[in-house]
Amino acid sequence: MSGEHTSSAVAARVRRLEERLIGEGLVTDGELDAVLTAVLEGASPLNGARVVARAWSDAGFRERLLADANAALPEVGLSMAGGLQEQRLKVVANTAGHHNVLVCTLCSCYPVALLGPSPSWYKSEAYRSRVVREPRAVLAEFGLELPDGQEITVWDSSAESRYMVLPRRPAGTGDLTEEQLAELVTREGLIGTAAL
């Protein structure tokens, strides 16, 4: 089944569900549109990049972010409160000996507010099933060759919980400002399919 056909089938099922909710008087089209607008308003990988840049340049913020991301995000003017309920966010840090990568095996749960709309490959059945079974091989297909001894953890998002990777700070960036550091961060780095 092609990705386009799968996306069309899912979109049709979502619309049928929306129509049933509207038909039962539980929600209006306008309310659904308002929720979608609220979720996507300001959603950008630039938000996640700002969070990473702050964590790279402020050790105290980094500690707070890793301990309780939801409590730390307001320090940079962000939150996970978009949509119907606040989602839990856990930020996981890459180190020299450990690499993290994100997936949602059930669908495509993803921290949209921090990473922007998810890439099509993140939603694909191939990525969702394979990265759990063979993360090293999948990462290599993205061009990320990790040393054999480096441990890999795959974090599986859910409807209630989202994850974001805190990439390792690139060498030679000690004199850069937060704004300059943020420019180095990519969406793929925030997902864990690329190193910075």
**Cβ-contact 142, 122 below 8 angstroms:** no
8 catalytic residue (yes or no): no
Which one has a higher pLDDT value, 184 or 113? 184
**Cβ-contact 49, 116 below 8 angstroms:** no
Structural domain includes residue 196: no
pLDDT at 7: 46
For residue range 101-125, what is the model confidence (pLDDT) as tens digits? Answer: 999 998 878 898 899 888 889 989 9
pLDDT at 69: 98
The one catalytic residue among 104, 120, 124, 158: 104
Are 69 and 134 part of one and the same domain? yes
Structural domain includes residue 3: yes
pLDDT at 18: 73
Are 152 and 110 part of one and the same domain? yes
**Cβ-contact 187, 116 below 8 angstroms:** yes
Structural domain includes residue 114: yes
Q: Which two tokens stand for residue 28?
A: 């209006």
Are 72 and 164 part of one and the same domain? yes
Which single residue is written with the structure tokens 């929306």? 18
Q: How confident is residue 88, by pLDDT bands cut at 50, 70 and 90?
A: very high
Calculated CA dihedral for residues 27, 32, 33, 39, nearest 10 degrees: 150
For residue range 4-62, what is the model confidence (pLDDT) as tens digits? Answer: 444 455 556 767 777 888 888 888 877 776 665 555 555 678 999 999 999 999 999 99
Are 37 and 48 part of one and the same domain? no
Are 21 and 69 part of one and the same domain? no
Are 151 and 119 part of one and the same domain? yes
Residue type, 163: Y
Residues 68 and 73: their CA atoms lie apart, in Å, by 9
pLDDT at 42: 59
For residue range 126-183, what is the model confidence (pLDDT) as tens digits? Answer: 999 999 999 999 999 999 999 999 999 999 999 889 999 999 999 999 999 999 999 9
Alpha carbon 182 to chain centroid, angstroms? 16
Structural domain includes residue 127: yes
Range of the domain at 32: 1-41
Are 17 and 95 part of one and the same domain? no
Mean pLDDT, to the nearest integer, of 51-75? 98
**Cβ-contact 123, 41 below 8 angstroms:** no
Which single residue is written with the structure tokens 């993205």? 142
Are 128 and 180 part of one and the same domain? yes
Structural domain includes residue 143: yes
109 catalytic residue (yes or no): yes
For residue 15, give every residue at least 6 positions away whose Cβ sits within 8 Å of its Cβ, in sequence order, or none.
Answer: none
Are 32 and 102 part of one and the same domain? no
Which one has a higher pLDDT value, 108 or 186? 186
Number of domains in the chain: 2
Are 35 and 94 part of one and the same domain? no
pLDDT at 3: 43
Are 34 and 47 part of one and the same domain? no
The one catalytic residue among 107, 118, 124, 161: 107
Residue 169, domain CATH: 3.90.330.10
108 catalytic residue (yes or no): yes
57 catalytic residue (yes or no): no
For residue 191, give every residue at least 6 positions away whose Cβ sits within 8 Å of its Cβ, in sequence order, or none.
Answer: 101, 102, 115, 122, 165
Calculated CA dihedral for residues 116, 107, 165, 148, nearest 10 degrees: -140
Are 31 and 127 part of one and the same domain? no
